[in-house]
Amino acid sequence: MIEQVTPGQLPAWFEAASADGAPLLLDVREPAEWQAASVRPAGAELLQMSMQTLPARLAELDPDRPVAVLCHHGGRSMQVAMFLAQHGFERVANVAGGIDAWALPVDPSVPRY
């Protein structure tokens, strides 16, 4: 079962996950979406890797590292989280609601699109 973490819960998830290594926020949106809106997570490294490139770039990711996956609303990130779990990633979470939910309660300066 993939953990569902809201943007407001991410700081606590990053803190708890840091016991397993430095957490990663994996943004799987497309480059145009990154330009439209991006986030700066406190407590985690941000890596932008579009969903379509992930299978070819999977070796760039450490399966022992905790990963929270982000997209626009949470659908693509859930697919990627399941993909990562199927490939041996042990600590994976889906950012429920995606960057759109991030913009509302967490950081209103993040543009909604």
Catalytic residue set: 71
> CA separation (Å) from 52 to 20, 59, 80, 89, 95?
27, 15, 10, 18, 18
Judging by DSSP bridges, how do beta strands 67-70 and 3-5 pair with one another?
A: unpaired
Judging by DSSP bridges, how do beta strands 3-5 and 24-27 pair with one another?
A: unpaired
Please choose, from the candidates 50, 110, 59, 109, the residue with its C-alpha nearest in 3D space to the C-alpha of residue 88: 59
> CA separation (Å) from 12 to 4, 9, 21, 112?
13, 6, 14, 24
